Amino acid sequence: MTTISFTEFRKNASSMMDRVERGETLLVLRHGQPIAEVSPVRQKEKTMPSWKNPPLRLSIKGKGLAAAIIQERNLEALP
């Protein structure tokens, strides 16, 4: 971790961000007191958004819904 003054950070912000981009962590001091720690973003695992995942397939034991509806209609149709 590199320690720098706030003034130095402000004057060289672009080059400081380049250092952070390369993986370095900076501790910024103002009047000798730490005020910020600038570090690279931790990359999360690259996962697909949930809406891109394959849909869930629901299943139950027994007759399917379509078969149950057809059976019910057939029972209602009998005189």
Beta-ladder partners of 28: 4, 36
- Enter the pTM of the model: 0.54
Tell me the pLDDT tens digit for each residue of 30-56: 999 999 999 998 877 667 777 888 888
Alpha helices in 1-79 (DSSP H): 6-11, 13-21, 65-77
Is 3's pLDDT higher than 80?
Answer: yes
Contacts of 6 (CB under 8 A, 6+ apart): 28, 29, 30, 35
Tell me the pLDDT tens digit for each residue of 14-32: 999 999 999 999 999 999 9
- Domains of the chain are 2-38 (3.40.1620)
Find out whether 28 and 12 touch, Cβ atoms under 8 Å.
Answer: no
Exposure on the CB side of residue 14, measured as CA atoms within 13 A: 0
